[in-house]
């Protein structure tokens, strides 16, 4: 038997095959694939986070203002936003197992251009290329994770997402210890990380190809059950509410991801390196919230964790602009943990409403998270230029109030995943 035939026989490239149910679905989670996707997400988003982490360096090197930084963030995030649901829609109809490593090539090219660019338009193109790679990776990654979930949908999605959040958290550390000393060209030191990520995604692509037919059958059965439970009008209303909740979350997240370093430097006179370390702590709290949010959602229900996550941070966001340095750091850790705990749950909840649209809905919600953040970054950059970075947080403090809309979401049950 050839190596290719052996792979198709066991479905996991040499790993013990998961026991199928009579319907062809996997009886339990394919843990090896879930953790490989977690690792790939970590590496991918570590590279992706280099972009936002070096904004202060680019601002000084090219004498950019806050509006130009916001536009650069917009180029990255709006590219990912527009392309993600399109990629998901296309691959829902025609799965493409090799799309994951191909998307990694786009990210790698964008980072190379970012390291070597000498003009502002080149920086914008680099940001757009990184966004393009992201637009391919995230919806297809969510599809693979759902295929490997074995019924634990929230836990599986949170395992995948936490890799990305730790990757985003490592971006500031990379900037503080590697790129700040070496400058813009220090990004080239991450070429080995890009190659490793490509190799992991190529391996996962083989498993994806071997299991996609069984996953399609499971999705069709789940879609028939969902259609019997909710009318198309209720599904459309629920998706609309979820989009508004994602909007509120993304705007506040943009204020921290893009301007938190500047806020600490301007208000408390922290150094760039110390500010980057504070950003790392915030992003680590986000990663912890994502990870624990998945199992909690599987246990108590998606709607419960969405309530807690969106509305819960409101008292802390209202306090943040008015406290001292130590309380600012503490509050951002609490905000990051609570607000991020529903990220995977919103995606899983949306897919449960229309299971045959896994790629499109994952791309829509993850993509809109990027897009909303990009639009917010550009707008908030204008606010920071016109008034101050501190005013940004006074305005954004009310965004968690959107969480009251959760009341109108249908209850899909505590253990739909």
Give the C-alpha separation, 381 to 255, whole Å. Answer: 9
pLDDT of residue 335: 94
Strand partners, 333: none
Q: Would the pTM of this model clear 0.75, i.e. be above it? A: no
d(CA 277, CA 274): 5
Q: Positive or negative, the Cα torsion across 53, 55, 61, 62?
A: positive
**Domains of the chain: residue spans and CATH:** 28-408 (1.20.1250.20)
DSSP at 332: H
Read off the pLDDT of residues 51-93 as tens digits, 9 standing for 90 and up.
877 787 888 888 888 888 888 888 887 787 778 888 888 877 7
10-residue stretch averages of pLDDT, the chain, 417 residues long: 40 43 46 89 87 79 82 80 81 80 89 86 90 86 83 80 79 74 80 89 86 63 53 82 87 85 87 84 84 77 84 92 91 92 81 76 73 75 84 89 88 52
- DSSP for 313-348 reads THHHHHHGGGS-HHHHHHHHHHHHHHHHTTHHHHHH
Angle formed by the axes of helices 389-396 and 232-268, nearest 10°:
150
- What's the pLDDT at 207? 86
372, 416, 379: which is closest to 395 by C-alpha?
379
Q: Which long-range contacts (CB under 8 A, 24 or more apart) does 264-271 make?
A: 264/325, 264/328, 266/388, 266/389, 266/390, 267/328, 267/389, 267/390, 268/325, 268/328, 270/325
Place of tokens 């490509």: 198
Tokens of 67: 């509006």
User: How does the average pLDDT of the chain come out, rounded?
Assistant: 79
pLDDT given at position 314: 92
3-state secondary structure of 26: strand
DSSP 355-375: GGGHHHHHHHHHHHHHHHHHH
**β-bridge partners, 20:** 26
* Residue 26, beta-bridge partner list: 20
State the CB neighbour count (10 A cutoff) for residue 309: 27
Model pLDDT for residues 149-158, shown as the tens digit of each residue: 877 777 888 8
Within 13 Å of residue 215, how many CA atoms lie on the same side as its CB? 28
Distances (CA, A) of 63 to 56, 67, 248, 297, 348: 10, 12, 31, 46, 42
């Amino acid at each position: 038997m050839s190596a290719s035939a052996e792979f198709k026989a066991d479905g996991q490239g040499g790993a013990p095959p998961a026991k199928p149910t009579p319907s062809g679905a996997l009886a339990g989670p394919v843990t090896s694939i879930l953790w490989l996707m977690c690792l790939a997400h970590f590496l991918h988003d570590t590279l992706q986070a280099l972009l936002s982490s070096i904004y202060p360096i680019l601002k000084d090197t090219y004498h950019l203002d806050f509006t130009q930084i916001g536009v650069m963030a917009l180029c990255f995030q709006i590219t990912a936003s527009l392309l993600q649901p399109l990629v998901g829609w296309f691959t829902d109809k025609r799965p493409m197992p090799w799309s994951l490593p191909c998307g990694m090539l786009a990210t790698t090219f964008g980072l190379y251009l970012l390291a070597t660019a000498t003009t502002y338009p080149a920086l914008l193109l680099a940001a757009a290329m990184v966004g393009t790679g992201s637009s391919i990776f995230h919806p297809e990654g969510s599809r693979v994770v759902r295929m490997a979930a074995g019924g634990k949908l929230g836990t599986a999605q949170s395992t995948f997402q936490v890799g990305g959040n730790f990757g985003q958290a490592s971006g500031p550390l990379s900037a503080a210890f590697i790129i700040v000393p070496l400058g813009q060209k220090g990004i080239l030191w991450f070429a080995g990380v890009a190659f490793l990520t490509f190799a992991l995604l190529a391996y996962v692509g083989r498993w994806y190809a071997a299991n996609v037919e069984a996953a399609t059958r499971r999705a069709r059965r789940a879609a028939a059950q969902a259609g019997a439970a909710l009318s198309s009008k209720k599904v459309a209303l629920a998706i609309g509410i979820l989009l508004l909740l994602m909007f509120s979350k993304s705007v506040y997240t943009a204020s921290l991801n893009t301007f938190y370093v500047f806020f600490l430097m301007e208000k408390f006179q922290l150094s760039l390196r110390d500010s980057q370390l504070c950003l790392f702590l915030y992003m680590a709290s986000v990663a912890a919230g994502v990870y624990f949010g998945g199992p909690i959602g599987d246990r108590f229900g998606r709607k419960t964790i969405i309530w807690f996550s969106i509305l819960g941070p409101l008292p802390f966001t209202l306090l943040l602009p008015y406290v001292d340095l130590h309380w600012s750091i503490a509050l951002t850790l609490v905000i990051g943990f609570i607000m991020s705990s529903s990220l995977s749950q919103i995606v899983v909840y949306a897919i449960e409403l229309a299971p045959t649209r896994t790629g499109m809905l994952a791309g829509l919600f993850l993509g809109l998270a990027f897009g909303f953040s990009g639009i917010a970054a550009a707008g908030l950059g204008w606010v920071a230029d016109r008034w101050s970075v501190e005013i940004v947080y006074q305005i954004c403090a009310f965004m968690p109030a959107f969480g009251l809309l959760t009341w109108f979401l249908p209850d899909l049950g505590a253990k739909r995943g």
